[in-house]
Structure 1
Amino acid sequence: MKTKYFDLIDQTFDFPQEEFTLKNNQLHFHGIDLTALIEEYGTPLKFTYLPKISENINRAKGWFADAIKEHNYKGNYNYCYCTKSSHFKHVLDEALKNDIHIETSSAFDINIVENLKMQGKITNDTFIISNGFKRDQYIQNIARLINSGHNNCIPIIDNYEELNLLSEVINKDFQVGIRIASEEEPKFEFYTSRLGIGYKNIIPFYNKEIKDNPQVTLKMLHFFINTGIRDTAYYWNELLKCMKVYVKLKKVCNSLDSLNIGGGFPIKNSLAFDYDYAYMVNEIIGQIKQTCDEADVDVPNIFTEFGSFTVGESGGAIYEVLYQKQQNDREKWNMINSSFITTMPDTWAINKRFVMLAINGWQKEYERVLLGGLTCDSDDYYNSEQHMNGIYLPKYTKEKPLYIGFFNTGAYQETIGGFGGLQHCLIPTPKHILIDRDENGNVITSVFAEQQTSEQLLSILGYDYGINTASERAKMIPNEVAEAIKESY
């Protein structure tokens, strides 16, 4: 009778998979012994597996190269990384090893770009695609970058005022793009994206503001779908509408030579994940070429902006099950030694699913459980795995610790969770390690950040007495409180 946790995974999914294997009933991730990581660093633990970033970048480049060759497509392909997915230096350093470009979203992104330029990681040949609604500081920073000689910084016009604001502070000729305000899926509460300029208004805007402006050259049309690149009637319909605008605009604007198909690829959120990336790329390139050929215009250079796809599958989190609570005859709660709200906020905010597997105990019988976090918030739980909206894990026993891993958590979770700042119920940010490989393929690990301390959290809250250790503070606080009480009277 197949009642072991291994049997459940084996008969439910195609297992093992490229990144997940089992050795001695212990889970390995990209060949890395996760139990050994736990023994060395403890839990809760966050990690970033850096080689996966380069791997995904080069996978995408390969798909586009194959499609361009198959369709005899005359345009170039440019891979951009969306920094908003993860701004960390180790992520940018790894991504920039692969001859890519950058997409920015706000003012401080430009400061990161300038820092990377000083290090020689970015050059003036690197495209900086500046998206987003641009407030004054963002305008000023873009202008500073362009005025310093970075001619490949291309601000994407999001509203009718931005072009004039940029022209006032940029003291040389510059290139721009225009973002299309795409129509949202029918399930959305609004019809049109708040970002960009409407389909029907783009050519009138070009004729009025750019066509006869000697300082500005229109280079790019930016097309973004909020739900990402998916094989749906909605996506193909929006792409076709975008291409109709492109060919009309191209006929009156010869400088237009690039199309940015923003909106990212999905990433693996289950062992049952199935997405044909190569097919989608081939179809996109084929449809763009067909539309341009029929309109007798040159095909555009293609830009993509992949954020989650670049970094998402590099990240993971490991927790220990501290205790099991039997709350009624059907519900068992496995309590983890951290919080879902603080460490994986997308599970709480948008009910996002991640790949979840036990690290050990695969030889044990399994049971259905709910997972609860440490905060006193009733929403701090996770129950959205693929198994009929339930979670199955090896049976919990007090004698043997049970560890669980969440994978492909590398995009957005740290920034949305407020890395290094305050956390709900003052649950500390876990230790974060970086995993890399040397030229011989040997695993190298290093600590990026230790688990937050009470001193760090109290300092943010204003409880900073200039005392370095918890023990010193414990001795001093009663006297200081007493003196403060005396002064208040």
Structure 2
Amino acid sequence: MNTKYIDLIDQSFYFPQEEFKLEGNQLEFHDIDLMALVKEYGAPLKFSYLPKISENINRAKGWFADAIAKHNYKGSYNYCYCTKSSHFKHVLDEALKNDIHIETSSAFDIDIVNKLKENGKITEDTFVICNGFKRDQYINNIAALINGGQKNCIPIIDNYEEINLLTEGIKGDFKIGIRIASEEEPKFEFYTSRLGIGYKNIVPFYEEQIKNNDQVDLKMLHFFINTGIRDNAYYWNELNKCLKVYIRLKKICPSLDSLNIGGGFPIKNSLAFDYDYAYMVDEIINQIKITCDEAEVPVPNIFTEFGSFTVGESGGAIYEVLYQKQQNDREKWNMINSSFITTLPDTWAISKRFIMLPVNRWDEEYERVLLGGLTCDSDDYYNSEQHSNAIYLPRYKKDKPLYIGFFNTGAYQETIGGYGGLQHCLIPQPKHILIDRDENGNLTTRIFNEQQKAEQLLKILGYEYN
């Protein structure tokens, strides 16, 4: 009988995989010796493998270049990174090595844009797509950016008052886009997105507020699907409705020349993950071209806003199993030395699943377990993998430490978890390691942030003032 953990993986998946392989009985991720990382920096720890960001950007660029060439598509392609997925400087620095553009969501994002300009990371020609509901400070910051010469800053109109507010603050002509309020999937608790302007109202809105406004050029229609780009009837139906609006607008608005197909690609969340990215890109380009050709209107330039796809697969977290609690005759709880609520909040907030694998002891017997965090909250647990309703790990042994890794966690977890701030039950934020490669391809590591100390939390709480 095959009872080793490696046997379980071998009979369940194709393994090794592109980013995962074994060296002896220990797991490597993109050729990173994870146990060596633990020995040097300890656990719990979080890490960011920066080269994966550039790799994914260039994969997407390649898919779109191939589809555009295949279909003789006359529009251009522009890759934008959604800063809300991860605002960290090391992420933006890596992403912007690859001739891309950025999408913002709030007022402080524009302060980041200004810093990037100061440091020469972006230029006045870089597209800055400004999404989100715009309060006064966001409007003011966008106006200042455009007045300062950022000619390709395009605020995406989200409500009926924003054009007037922008016109008051911006000197001279400027470009805008309009966000479509798409209809949500049937599983949602509401029918239409709160963001953007409804399909039926977009053309009247253009006629009333944009057509005769000499200061404003409508350049972009922004189409966003909350569930991302997926090969299902819902996505293709919404894309088709979007294209109908684009065609109606294009026929009365010559300046309109771009379509932003927001909503990102999925990222790998299981060893069984299967998604044909190249096919989806090819079919999107094909559908847009067919629809525009039939209507005899020029095809739009294509913009995408990939956040999780850009940065998600670069991140990981490693924990040590501290102890096992047998709570009844069936449930074994492996207690980790951190908290899921604080370090991987999406697992708690929206039941998101990441790839979870042991880092060591792959050649030993396995058992079914539940994973528990250190907080005293009943929701601080992780109990199933994406491909099954259970977790299997090498058998707990008090004298043989077990380390587990969560992978592709690089998007949203830090900002949702309140990076650098208070954590639930005052569980400290783990050490954060940046991993890169030098000009010879050798791995380099450095500490981005140490594990939080009590003094930092006490100061936030008002117990210390110096």
Q: Shorter-chain TM-score category?
A: over 0.9
Query: Contact 2:307–2:411 at 8 Å: present in 1 too?
Result: yes
TM-score for the superposition, normalised by structure 1: 0.95
Distance 1:11 1:57 in 2: 33
**1:388 Cα deviation after fit:** 3.1
Partner-residue secondary structure (3-state), 2:185: coil
C-alpha root-mean-square deviation of aligned residues, in Å?
A: 0.6
Structure 2 residue aligned with 1:262: 262
Q: Indicate the SS of the match to 2:335.
A: strand
Length, aligned pairs only = 466
Q: State how far apart, in whole Å, the 1-side matches of 2:20 and 2:423 are.
A: 31
Aligned partners of 1:361, 1:97: CA distance in 2, in Å?
38
Deviation at 1:387, TM superposition (A): 5.4
- Measure the CA separation in 2 of the matches of 1:162 and 1:465: 41
Which residue is 2:341 aligned to?
341
Number of the residue aligned with 2:170: 170
Where 1:278 maps in the other structure, the secondary structure is: helix
For residue 377 of structure 2, what is the aligned residue in structure 1?
Answer: 377
Aligned mates of 1:77, 1:387 — CA distance in 2: 35
Q: State the one-letter code of the partner of 2:339.
A: S
Could you tell me which amino acid in structure 2 is paired with residue 264 of structure 1? Answer: G
Q: Does 1:149 align with 2:149?
A: yes
Output aligned runs, 1:287-436, within 5 Å. Answer: 287-386=287-386, 388-436=388-436
Q: Give, in angstroms, the shift of residue 423 of structure 1.
A: 0.2
SS at match of 1:357: strand
Contact 2:261 2:304 in 1 (8 A): yes
Q: In structure 1, what is the Cα distance between the partners aligned to 2:207 and 2:406?
A: 51
State the AA in 1 paired with 2:429: T
Structure 2 counterparts to residues 2-401 of structure 1, below 5 A: 2-386=2-386, 388-401=388-401
What are the ranges of 5 or more consecutive residues in structure 1 without an aligned counterpart? 467-489
Separation in 2, partners of 1:39, 1:365: 24
Hey, which bits of structure 1, 4+ residues long, moved more than 6 A?
A: none
The whole-number CA distance in structure 1 between the counterparts of 2:151 and 2:116 is 16
Q: Structure 2 CA distance, aligned partners of 1:387 and 1:105?
A: 33
Q: Report how far residue 187 of structure 1 moved.
A: 1.0
Q: Partners of 1:416 and 1:172 in 2: how far apart?
A: 38
Q: Is the 8 A contact 2:159 2:197 kept in 1?
A: yes
Q: 1:405 Cα shift?
A: 0.1
AA aligned opposite 1:299: V
| Amino acid in the other structure paired with 1:74 | K
CA contact (8 A) 2:269 2:386 kept: no
Given that 1:351 and 1:384 are in contact with CA atoms closer than 8 Å, whether structure 2 keeps it comes out as no
Q: Deviations over 1:371-396 (max 9, x none)?
A: 00000001000012145311000001
Check the 8 A contact 2:354/2:386 in 1, yes or no: no
CA distance in 1, matches of 2:397, 2:233: 49
The alpha-carbon distance between structure 1 residues 93 and 99, as it changes in their structure 2 partners (threshold 3 A), is same
Q: Structure 1: which amino acid aligns with 2:40?
A: E
For the residue of structure 1 that corresponds to 2:197, the secondary structure is coil
CA–CA separation in structure 1 for the residues paired with 2:227 and 2:386 = 20
Distance 1:457 1:428 in 2: 9
> Which 5+ residue runs of structure 2 have no aligned equivalent?
none
Shift in Å, 1:212? 1.0
Whichever residue aligns with residue 249 of structure 1, its letter is: L
* Amino acid in structure 1 at the alignment position of 2:408: N
Q: Which secondary structure does the structure 1 equivalent of 2:371 belong to?
A: strand
The equivalent of 2:445 in structure 1 is 445
Q: Percent of aligned positions with the same letter in both sequences?
A: 83
Cα deviation for residue 465 of structure 1 reads 5.1
Tell me if structure 1 keeps the 8 A contact 2:270–2:387.
no
Give the whole-Å Cα distance in 2 for the aligned partners of 1:388 and 1:118: 49
Q: Is the Cα–Cα contact under 8 Å of residues 80 and 303 in structure 2 kept in the other structure? A: yes
- Rounded to whole Å, the distance in 2 between the matches of 1:112 and 1:141 is 11
Instruction: Return the alpha-carbon distance in structure 2 between the equivalents of residues 348 and 172 of structure 1.
Output: 48
In 1, Cα distance between equivalents of 2:10 and 2:251: 56
Alignment-mate amino acid for residue 286 of structure 1: N
Check whether the contact 1:264–1:307 (CA below 8 A) recurs between aligned residues. yes
- Displacement of 1:31 in angstroms is 0.4
Q: 1:15: how far off? A: 0.5
Partner residue of 1:456? Answer: 456
The answer as to whether partners of 2:79 and 2:305 remain within 8 angstroms in 1 is yes
Amino acid at match of 1:340: F
